[in-house]
Copies of this chain bind each other. A is one copy, B any other.
Amino acid sequence: MIAVLEPGCPMHQKAEVVRLIENEGLRAQVSELEHETLVGVIGQAGESLAARLEALPGVREVRLSAPPYPLTARAYHPADSRIRVAGVTFGGPEIVVAAGPCAVEDEEQLLSTARCVAAAGARLLRGGAFKPRSSPYSFQGLGEEGLRLLAAAREETGLAVVTEVLAPEDVELVARYADLLQVGARNMQNFRLLSAVGAQPRPVLLKRGLMATLDELLLAAEYVAAAGNPRVILCERGIRTFEPATRGTLDLSAVPVLKELTHLPVIVDPSHAAGRREWVPALARAALAAGADGLIVEVHPEPGRAVSDGRQSLTFAGFEAMMAELRRVAGALDRTLPGPAQAAPGGGA
């Protein structure tokens, strides 16, 4: 249940609405939107509450069947949200590309990759320092040392840094180094983690779970927003189906469907879905054509020696060739993708 307040409703009327809700033993979630104020009722409301709320001055209406993700729904925010990440804007005319290795392995691997992808037009560097691995015996990432290497690569190349955070207790540490905090597919319904990244100021890249419906993805984004951080970028990365040829089935329908349901930017990860580098460029092009605002792609200097995901990582040459193709597709869609020159503002590079 959501109470929609009158535009310009004065503070003391808002307070009255919140007080009524809290007196019922419920919580009130106030969302100050551009054109209106919404008060979400959290908890099991009694039957008479809606009528009593509507009777209060300043309440325009009470929606019982409101979209269950008021902060995230386009219904409440018709305009596209633009989210700035260290000087790069997601959700505007520019296609934003994040690229880099699956896992940060060492300085040489990371820096060479960062230089390559920056030169080819990427705006963010990706790389895992904390890795969620199916097996406890697999490489779990370099931890803070990995974060330090990412920051050093940013220093040299000017790329912003996106990296995954695995647990609430790591949020503060990761946020110290990263420009964009990634919540991975396996954690899409780790609700504590969602609340934790919602309670800090860095923007959040939220990947769709392998098993998650689009409604569940939007509810997960709502957790982040409801905790105070509306700067969420959504990412389709392949769902689990019966088809064994690919690692996941990239659901590109998700792009237009999400664009209809939400005002948040939507990007696509073609690497994890494909599982093989040969198929990544075709899926990347298709993602742009479907309306994606950006991509996140795996690139490695020597994929055959990668600690993880080597099979799906592009080589440097492969990434450069793909970016050239993508630039043409972006143009046909009236969008831009920075060229080699524009994309390397960092240091002396």
User: Which residues of A does B touch, CB under 8 Å?
Assistant: 29, 40-44, 68-69, 132-139, 166-169, 186-187, 189-192, 195, 209-211, 213-216, 219-220, 222-223, 226-227, 239-246, 249-257, 260, 273-274, 278-279, 282-283, 285-291, 307, 328-329, 331-333
A168–B169 CB distance below 8 A: yes
Output the nearest chain B residue to A259 by Cβ-Cβ distance: B282
Provide the bound-state CA to CA distance between A307 and B45, in Å.
11
Answer whether A42 and B136 are a contact pair too, CB < 8 Å, given A209-B211, A243-B251.
yes
Across-interface contacts of A167 in B (CB, < 8 A): 168, 192
How often does this chain occur in the complex, in copies?
4
CB distance from A41 to the nearest CB of B (A): 7
5 CB < 8 A contacts A-B: A41-B137, A166-B192, A186-B189, A250-B253, A288-B289
Provide the bound-state CA to CA distance between A59 and B200, in Å.
50
Output the nearest chain B residue to A225 by Cβ-Cβ distance: B136
Answer whether A273 and B288 are a contact pair too, CB < 8 Å, given A41-B137, A189-B186.
no
B243–A239 CB distance below 8 A: yes
11 more CB-based (< 8 A) A-B contacts, given A211-B240, A255-B282: A40-B137, A41-B137, A43-B137, A44-B307, A68-B135, A69-B135, A134-B216, A136-B226, A168-B169, A241-B251, A282-B290
B41–A213 CB distance below 8 A: no
Which listed residue, B132, B249, B307, touches A241 by the CB 8 Å rule? Answer: B249
Across-interface contacts of A227 in B (CB, < 8 A): 136
Provide the bound-state CA to CA distance between A227 and B279, in Å.
32
Across-interface contacts of A329 in B (CB, < 8 A): 289, 329, 332-333
Output the nearest chain B residue to A305 by Cβ-Cβ distance: B44
CB distance from A85 to the nearest CB of B (A): 24
Provide the bound-state CA to CA distance between A178 and B291, in Å.
36
Provide the bound-state CA to CA distance between A244 and B249, in Å.
15
B253–A222 CB distance below 8 A: no
CB distance from A338 to the nearest CB of B (A): 17
Across-interface contacts of A246 in B (CB, < 8 A): 253, 257
